[in-house]
Amino acid sequence: MTGATLQAIRYQRGSLEIIDQLLLPHETLYIPISTLALGHDAIKTMKVRGAPAIAIVAALSLAVVLVDPSTVASGRLLTAQGAVVFIEESLEFLKTSRPTAVNLFDAAHKLAKGVREAGAIASAKGQDVVDKYLELAEKMLEDDVKDNMNIGRFGAEFILKVWKGGDDLRVITHCNTGSLATAGYGTALGIIRALAGQNKLTHAYCTETRPYNQGSRLTAYELVYERIPSTLITDSMASALLAQNPDKIAAIVVGADRVAANGDTANKIGTYQLAITARYHNIPFIVAAPSTSVDLNIGSGKEIHIEVRPAVEVTTLRGPVVEVESISKGSNDVVFKTHNGQDVTETIAVAARGIGVWNPSFDVTPAELISAVVTEKGVVLKEDGVQTFDMKTFLTSH
């Protein structure tokens, strides 16, 4: 049922390439990330997105810079202290690319701590500090894939355990949480992938995920790529889908940008409304997130800063132009307009001129509406009669 997993991040020491997700699904283009500025821009402009992937790309961007001949020639890495300062300053700069991504901040903290410890050794030289950073950053890439596969396994086991329906098992997901959002395999989409790999999944539904359309552009792209039976719906169709398929939808599975200590979860805008409809229809609502997305320093979702993005993301759409005649046929087999063998791409306005726009990137789903939080360490559940999760106790005991 599934084919080869998409590789969105290509890395070997001294070289980093990522798929430019702004061009998907119509063009698959790997772009090189050779400077801190390019890494920062890729994250800020959402050429790469998804909390785990953001952290990995930031870490590897600096890894590439540290072995670049121009950086070495600058002399800033000659001494251990100089190397530590350069790395810490670089990480602080990269953190400004996405202020809500807890994975990015967590990765930066761990990397900075590691190089400070390496630099504190009396005999340490600049290269020793650089080598330590490279070791830590490259291990993050390796560990993320392993963690995602564990999330997929634990999540699939949980769904199969609580599923009371028959062989027709279907799942809904929101935004993009697959290989494009992580170092590989995915979190929520990893659970779907694990179910499909066991031949337990009949169908997956992905929401369009306005206004940036990560569902229609990215998740749909991955589902088609891996040959998982799937259907695209708009965000506003989810409740109708649940109402018309009461015995077929096993769960709604989403990712997380940040999970508070009590389980409140910040995720792509539209997640909260899915949790509400899941509760009404008595469908498990599952959050899939690595432990690095859990911020034990904040007690609840009220403390999570929500990024508000530009209005133009709501009022415009960009994509390849299609021939009008092909649209009238009513199928998805549209004909793209080309020029010199290349698709013609345009940005169009889809809203009335002068209308005000509110464009929060995330919303916060209260823990009360979440059935389970699936991490690489296992499934976190609430105690009987308790409306919140004890994330700290779970993570420190596993």
CA distance linking residue 60 with residue 89, whole number of Å: 15
Let me know if 257 is a catalytic residue: yes
Cα–Cα distance measured from residue 42 to residue 38, given in angstroms and rounded to the nearest whole number: 6
Catalytic residue, from 106, 144, 147, 257: name it: 257
Alpha-carbon span 209 to 363, nearest angstrom: 13
Could you give the CA distance from residue 378 to residue 397 in angstroms, rounded to a whole number?
11
**Angstrom distance (rounded) from CA 350 to CA 315:** 5
What whole-number distance in Å separates Cα of residue 169 and Cα of residue 129? 51
Contacts (Cβ under 8 Å, ≥6 apart) of 389: 262, 263, 367, 370, 373, 380, 381, 382
Q: Report which of 256, 251, 289 is spatially closest to residue 271, judged by C-alpha positions.
A: 256
How far does CA 360 lie from the centroid of its chain? 17
Q: Catalytic residue numbers?
A: 257
